[in-house]
Amino acid sequence: MNFELAQCGIGDAADLGADLLVVLVHREFKARNDAVSRLIAGAIKAGDFEPKAGKALQMYRPAGVTASRLLVLGCEEGLARQTRSAIAGAASALKASGVRRVAVCWTGDAGPEQVQAAVAALAEASYVYTTTKSKAEGRLIDRVVLGVTDVAAARGALDHAVATVKGVELAKEWGNRPANHATPTMIARAASALAKLPRIRCEVLGPRQVAKLGMGAFMAVAQGSEEELRFIVLRYDGAPKDVAPTVLVGKGISFDTGGISIKPAPEMDEMKFDMCGAASVLGVFRALGELKPAINVVGLIPTCENMPDGRAVKPGDVVTSMSGQTIEILNTDAEGRLILCDALTYAERFAPRAVVDIATLTGACVIALGGVRSGMFASTDALAAELHAAGEASQDLCWRLPLDDEYAEGLKTNFADMANVAGRAGGAITAAKFLQKYTAKFPWAHLDIAGTAWKSGAAKGATGRPVPLLLAYLLAQPSGTAAPAAAGRKAAPAARRKAA
């Protein structure tokens, strides 16, 4: 899908050539003497339309308009989130037969934020997964023109939005693929293909190399599967070598049966989405290759299956992680933290500015935050603030949860340095406390995306989150940023700090 900008206000919208003209109507709409304004004013006067959220009116072959269809959407004050919501509500019209060229304009000013929101919403509304369908027809829309009053001011926003869409859709592609079409080996090939983009390098480690590194926790999860594990190291080098990179660590469980602690059969097919953290890292690197920012980024993806065969790790087994710390595996379905902890230890070698891990980690986070905001944990207030701001700016929201030391009490065991699970209470937090034990040497954040990485039911599919959040966070970093003081500083208790 190609996106273009056109110097155009509402007075010129009637001349935009398209199969579908979408007009976002602000609450303060005042009719002018042009074809589109007259049509909108007439509809308002007749009571057929209001410029409120959720209101829409479609017209076929409207008088004086070049486009064969006109879709009028209520957009309140015209804010970015209102733009996105209005377009999202018009998904059926955007997927209609014969709609290949779309034009979009606003009755008021549309700045960079509105342009980004419109691009994201149009891509989301028209997305179609086709990879494993024999006769599927893909996205019908191939060209979108966005009418703005200042093309130069919107150019950078458009470039950012288009790159983000490419990253989101790569993440969706790999999240949506069934496990037999997204094995660790296949995921590694997808990562290697990204090395064709500017400034990106990729290294893939196999079982022997991982064993040599001493990644005992990662290997324990993989040992029950016939599919070999892969450890993927992506590097984007946009700044000088002495500039500290940000490291992204994505959980890549390509299918999660739960292992010996096997999951219930209903909806187990959705465990193909357990590698959406890894998919988001792939998506971010896809976008970085488009935008070529002057920063350094490392992506680490430990990827394997969690299966219950005769070699599988058993509840009560004790393994030694790459850090040397021992872990009693009380529940084999708490496997994501086991592959992540070794990747977090590996991240130390990059002397990172910060490390952010991304994982579909806990059902407890879904209970806490639902599908609106990702759970965010951070070892420093500064890193938490950066991620929260990036989420708000990208409309890919997150919410900070606490890391009080008392939450780690349940991880104590008589048989190892720690257990891999605590009790049911505060499960998302105790999982984060487990990961925190491997992050003393750098500022660290954890994004639990179990509630936001995919949707169930009729809309079942990967969302591509949190690619927009991560990209906004990375691009907000100043070029040449040195690594901050390491991350020994504790996050303030929830009762004493303001909510992020």
Annotated active-site residue in 32, 38, 55, 263: 263
Query: What are residue 5's DSSP bridge partners?
Result: 146
Average pLDDT, the chain: 93
Do residue 344 and residue 210 come from a single domain?
yes
Residues 142 and 34 occupy one common structural domain:
yes
In a domain, 241, yes or no: yes
Same domain membership, residue 331 and residue 200: yes
Asked, for residue 163, whether it belongs to a domain, the answer is no
Q: Show the domain range for 394.
A: 170-496
The answer as to whether 161 is a domain residue is no
Taking Cα atoms as reference points, which of 481, 462, 91 lies closest to residue 283?
462
> Are 57 and 198 contained in the same domain?
no
Catalytic residue among 272, 286, 337, 400: 337
Query: Who contacts 147 (Cβ-Cβ below 8 Å, separation ≥6)?
Result: 6, 7, 8, 9, 12, 13, 16, 103, 104, 105, 106, 110
9 or 215, which is more confident: 215
Per-residue pLDDT at 221 exceeds 90: yes
Cβ atoms of residues 469 and 287 within 8 Å: no
Does residue 154 sit within a domain? Answer: no
Q: Are residues 130 and 180 in the same domain?
A: no
Range in 105-114, 310-319, 378-387, 447-456 the model is least confident about: 105-114
Is residue 496 predicted with pLDDT exceeding 70? no
* 367 CB-near residues (< 8 Å, 6+ apart): none
Q: H or E segment at 280?
A: helix 276-291
97: pLDDT strictly greater than 90: no
Q: Judge contact between 250 and 278, C-beta under 8 A.
A: yes
Average pLDDT over residues 228-235: 98
Output the pLDDT for position 137: 83
One domain for residues 218 and 103: no
Active site residue 201: no
12 Cβ neighbours under 8 A, 6+ residues apart: 34, 147
List the beta bridge partners of residue 70: 21, 59
Residue 196 lies in a domain: yes
Same domain, yes or no: 132 and 214: no
393 and 352 co-located in one domain: yes
pLDDT at 499: 30
Instruction: State the average pLDDT over residues 197-207.
Output: 98
**What mean pLDDT do residues 168-174 have?**
98
- The reply to whether 259 and 394 lie within a common domain is yes
Share of the chain above pLDDT 90, in %: 88
pLDDT at 491 over 70: no
Final residue in a domain of this structure, among 99, 116, 149: 149
What pLDDT does 58 receive?
94
**Does residue 165 belong to any structural domain of this protein?**
no
> What is the total residue count of the chain?
500
Same domain, 99 and 187: no
Count of structural domains, the chain: 2
Same domain, 352 and 489: yes
Tokens of 494: 């929830």
CATH number at residue 387: 3.40.630.10
Amino acid sitting at position 94 = L
φ, ψ at 495 (rounded to 5°): -70, -20
Beta bridge partners of 102: 20, 144
Residues 78 and 25 in one domain: yes
In a domain, 290, yes or no: yes
pLDDT at 203 over 90: yes
Q: What is the pLDDT of residues 260-316, one digit of tens each?
A: 999 999 999 999 999 999 999 999 999 999 999 999 999 999 999 999 999 999 999
Q: What is the pLDDT of residue 95?
A: 85
Residue 200 inside a domain? The answer is yes
CATH number of the domain residue 97 falls in: 3.40.220.10
Average pLDDT over residues 352-360: 98
Report d(CA 151, CA 439) in Å as an integer: 45
Is residue 230 annotated as a catalytic residue, yes or no? no
